[in-house]
Amino acid sequence: MVEALKKNPAWKGRKGPVVLVIMDGVGYGKYKEGDAVADSKMWHLEALKAKSPHTKLKAHGKAVGLPSDEDMGNSEVGHNAMGCGRVFNQGAALVFASIASGAMFRGQAWKEIVENVVKHDSALHFIGLFSDGNVHSHIDHLKAMIKQAKSDGIKKVRVHVLFDGRDVGETSALEYTDPFEDFLKELNNGGFDAKIASGGGRMWITMDRYGANWPQVQRGWNVHVHGEGRQFASAREAVETYRKEIPGIIDQDLKEFVIAENGKPVGTIEDGDSVVYFNFRGDRALEISAAFEEDKFDHFDRGRRPKVCYAGMMEYDGDTHVPKRYLVSPPSIDRTMGEYLAASGLRTLAISETQKYGHVTYFFNGNRTGKFDDKLETYVEIKSDVVPFEERPWMKCAEIADKVIEALDSGKYDHIRLNFPNGDMVGHTGVYQAVVCAMESMDLQIGRIAKAVEKTGSVMVICADHGNSDDMYEHDKKTGAVSRKADGTPKAKTSHSLNPVPCIVYDPAYQGEYPAKSGEGDLNEGLGISSIAATIIQLLGYIPPANYDTSVLKM
């Protein structure tokens, strides 16, 4: 438990609440070509910038707890940082450290995984995102575990690959598959047998989140566990075949495949096997974990459910303890802004659509399921459409704005936080026209909310959790030139960017408590998005906790 925040006697107060608008995946682009944010008619956002103090915040690398500044930020760590007001070492850094020190392999979970396989003379299966994107997973973690498995006496390893195409190049699958096959070939001696067994694109199988598309998880279950799917001799053959048959398909959408020899799958999951889901990020790990672990499960027919020893890379939900067994402990995040607001008696509304609902609740609250105070907190989820995002790029931003405006008019809340997912979810499709539509749709809703903020005497802080839509084309790292396909069109980039993100403080009832001329310079500069928590607390009229990162306000 935390103590109530201390009031700031110099704060003159505002009639309405403090609204935090998180434009997911919206940054300041480095290149003119491919910056769909700058290329969009975001007139309302630009008007707010023109009359409000604003700055740029870091949203990647060490500023959000990742190992290096070459690591792209993501929604999970971004919302963690904004919600807890300081930086914690995050998944990738923790896993790399655990492997380097050997702590992972000395831990009880790894020992149980290995002992189960040795006892039953069975197989060890690895399922996870197959890239070095370092957002959900890293292929080096997988390689280290396979090496250790061989060292620990395991004879049979099967890998179920989820192709990326979002956090890395959209058609880079073979850049990972071919070297990995060579890696396995070098290890396959002395009775050790390791193979790729199944796979598909991350947005087609296995990696759904927030219950948005359980059939996606079912396709993954069927291909990984039962070996049900189109058969190929190798992962390379599967990728090349699907690319020929479905022109323009990118890695994240590749259909499921099974590797078979003599017509028989090489790696179904059987009783007595062990399974490691090697993603470290939690949101797209919970559903497949439930399929393996839950006795009462009604999301789809699992058919034969093998009795396995299952482990996740990390604990994906600290409150419900999913999974029951995990290799590396997640960061212990405490004293979040939400907990302080509840302890101070402040009323909060958190809202988004399904795709980002967990980010303004679970991740924002430090990977905590549930509320700090049921009487003070209201969480609203607007169900996302289950369609390709490029086909409906406006998503649910209008419905989110409707609820926020209703909440502003009600006078029931002291703080409202919302997430517009458009810039991230549509940005990941690589469809430039759709992203521009997404940006302009979101901008219309920001304009509507701004009017309600003015009417109710509220304050609005606009920011983002990381970049994405600001960097839609692949560029040569040395020259900056756009990478192009054979037909001369730009090669789409579907991953996050390393770019800074906006922070705009719109305070139409401003009373002089802090410098607030329009333009840059009146806010603190060089900060990260972890400064958002202290900023919100100050605008609510309270003094931020002593160890919170500096607010953007010069108070």
* CA pair distance 29, 551, nearest whole angstrom: 24
**Residue appearing with tokens 């890695």:** 251
| Six token digits for residue 165 | 């195409």
159 burial via Cβ count (<10 Å: 0-12, 13-18, 19+):
buried
Could you write out the DSSP letters of every residue in 446-504?
HHHHHHHHHHHT-EEEEE-SSB-TT--B-B-TTT-PBPB-TTSPBPB--S-B---EEEE
DSSP 9: T
Q: How many CB atoms lie within 10 A of CB 19?
A: 27
Continuous H helices in 226-323: 235-245, 286-293
Catalytic residue among 75, 384, 497, 551: 75
75 is catalytic: yes
Q: How many CB atoms lie within 10 A of CB 157?
A: 24
DSSP 178: H
3-state SS track over 317-348: ECCCCECCCEEECCCCCCCCHHHHHHHCCCCE
Q: Is 46 helix (H, G, I), strand (E, B) or coil?
A: helix
* CA pair distance 415, 378, nearest whole angstrom: 11
Q: How many CB atoms lie within 10 A of CB 324?
A: 13
Nearest to 58 by CA among 78, 34, 30: 78
CB 158 within 8 A of CB 306: no
Between the alpha carbon of residue 345 and those of residues 377, 535, 536, 548, the distances in Å are: 10, 18, 15, 20
Q: How many CB atoms lie within 10 A of CB 335?
A: 17
Nearest to 459 by CA among 553, 382, 362, 524: 553
Active site residues: 75
